[in-house]
A and B are shown apart, each in its own frame.
Chain A
Amino acid sequence: MTNDRVAIVGVGYSTTGRRTGLSSRQLAVQAGKAALEDAGMTPADVDGVTLSWDVAGPEPEGLEPVNSDDAAHMLGIDPLHVSSSGGGIVFAHPAREAIAAVRSGQCHTAIAFRVINQRLSVPDLMSQEAPESELVPDHWTDPQFARPFGQVLPVQWPGALTAQRHMDLYGTTEEQFGTHVINQRHNASLNPEAILRDPMTLDDYFASRYISKPLRLFDCDYPVDSGSAVIFTTEERARDFRQKPVFVDAAAFALSWKPRTAGPESMVFTWNSPGATAEHLWKQTDLRPGDVDTVQFYDGFTIWPMMWLEALGFCGPGESGPLIQSGATRLGGSIPLNTDGGACNMGRRHGANFCIEAVRQLRGQCGDRQVPDAKVALWTNAYYWACLLTAD
């Protein structure tokens, strides 16, 4: 039996913060319990777990990992029909696997987890020699052609190299980057669950140091310990639980090396993949960008939500900077962006917060940052995943 419509019925976070002292297993169990409680479910209602885990930075000695079997066993999910800890590190991967598993009937209800231990902060990472394997997964084809030139971390590629190219092609300015940064900090100030909540001005932004020019400290997401969980189930079951279900209208993954109209030509495939993802997404649905009430776009670095705005058709190529300056992406604007504050202020939950915020907006649970009457929300992760959610 296949299930064409997949619903999200529960979302939850662990305790989240800098150096919480919590183990990976604790983070997973806390997030799972929170999502089950949110849904009004018991573990007996669940038969699938997908989970991605890693540390961002070198793995501290003695840090125990967690996988999907562990998480299911600890939570008492039994029998388990789907268990996956593979696929990739950002939340898009367990989310994609959970959607596919429910849609195909391999399981009826799956919890997708992203668990990150951030015992070591970025300054710690910078001050020591990290193991090679932790530094450059595959950011530029083969590390031997990147590392010797000081290309070591994602802030450079796919972050700042892309941002610099955008500035050159389109006249995008650091003030536009900064405007996005202070907009989403304002949203965070309205969100009790955000970690960084003090309002910021453009002066504060410009006073922050460059990490990799043109990107500054505040253009980068904030490393934390976090566990996040989202429960996917069938449409048939979705109405039996506590929350108003939110439905997956379209979900698209794409890696592409070929240039698209949105964004710079094929130079770094970060810019081509969002375009290919958008094409794949909009083919699956009759909804169009004008139908979307709020967008939650992955902000590992400021340039990424900008490229998603362009790729997904909320503005033309190169127009994301002016769009941000127009106020359109602020709360109260035509397309509010990152209403929870984004990963820069929520902390790096590696994509899960964008899904969870989209769900909460569609449920109408966002308090002071609620987008009125939100019915359609779009979230993205990394540079290759977009997912359109609708209220019932």
Chain B
Amino acid sequence: MATSSSRLLPEPTPETAPFWEGCRRHELRIQRCNDCDRFYFYPRPYCPHCLSDDTEWMTVSGEGILRTYVINHRPMPGFAGEAPYVTAIVELAEGPRLMTNLVNVEPVPANLPVGLAVTVVFDDVTDTVTLPRFQPKDRR
């Protein structure tokens, strides 16, 4: 996607900074619980599965599947000139789901079967912000 100066960019907080710092290094990092061995997202200082605070940041595969999506026709504020674009929920191989964009694919439903294998691609939208987007794994 094109970079838009008016895009609503993330403003990392202390709890989320490791995620965004990972993206800057082109690594997808999420948290894992050392007590129950499960991954989770979004960032929190405790595990939502077992409430343990023994958690750590891990770099994950960046592989996942498409769970659902919209093809946004009406550009949202900050996205003028980019419609139609695909906002998607991707389920990572490690379990958690996150909101993202599907890119490098023509935005028509035939190209977007739910369950589609996808892989992360990093988009350096500014000098300090990199966004994780996903593209079909078997890109033709």
Contact = CB atoms under 8 A, between A and B. Distances in A.
Contact of B69 (A128, A145, A164): A164
B9 interface: yes
Contacts of A160: 70
A148 B4 CA distance: 10
Given A149-B100, A151-B87, A212 B68 contact: no
B10 A144 contact: yes
Contacts of A140: 99
A148 B72 contact: no
A153 interface: yes
A109 B7 CA distance: 49
Given A168-B114, A213-B84, A152 B73 contact: no
B77 A213 contact: no
A78 B99 CA distance: 50
A211 B73 contact: yes
Contacts of A209: 73-74
B131 interface: yes
Nearest to B112: A164
Contacts of B81: none
Interface in B19-70: 42, 67-70
A210 B71 CA distance: 9
A155 B70 CA distance: 10
A149 B67 contact: no
Contacts of B131: 148-149
A155 B73 CA distance: 11
A250 B7 CA distance: 45
B77 A152 contact: yes
Interface stretch (A13-21, A129-137, A181-189): A129-137
Interface string B74-107: 1111110010110111000000011111000000
Interface of A: 125-126, 128-130, 132, 135, 140-153, 155-157, 160-162, 164-165, 168, 209-215, 267-268
A150 B101 contact: yes
B8 interface: yes
A379 B88 CA distance: 31
A144 to B, nearest CB: 4
Contact of A148 (B10, B13, B42): B10
A84 B88 CA distance: 38
Contacts of A268: 89
Interface string B113-135: 01000000000010001010100
Contact of A144 (B11, B69, B114, B133): B11
Contacts of A162: 68
B111 interface: no
A148 B68 contact: no
Contact of B76 (A153, A161, A213, A215): A153
B19 to A, nearest CB: 8
Contacts of B98: 145
Most buried by A among B42, B67, B87, B114: B87
A165 B109 CA distance: 12
Contacts of B16: 142, 144-145
Nearest to B100: A149
Contacts of A161: 68-70, 87, 89
Given A142-B16, A156-B70, A165-B114, A150 B85 contact: yes
A135 B77 contact: yes
Contacts of B129: 148
Contacts of B12: 144
Contact of A129 (B6, B84, B101, B133): B6
Most buried by A among B10, B16, B109, B114: B10
Contacts of A155: 74
Given A144-B11, A144-B16, A267-B68, A212 B74 contact: yes
Given A140-B99, A161-B87, A152 B78 contact: yes
Contacts of A146: 99
Contacts of B99: 140, 145-146, 149, 151, 157
B114 A213 contact: no
Nearest to A265: B67
The 6 closest A-B pairs by CB, nearest first: A152-B76, A213-B71, A144-B10, A210-B73, A147-B8, A160-B70
A132 B74 CA distance: 18
A212 B101 contact: no
Contacts of A151: 76, 87, 99
A154 to B, nearest CB: 11
Given A144-B12, A146-B99, A151-B87, A130 B77 contact: yes
Given A148-B131, A150-B87, A212 B42 contact: no
A135 B75 contact: no
A321 B77 CA distance: 32
Contacts of A126: 74-77
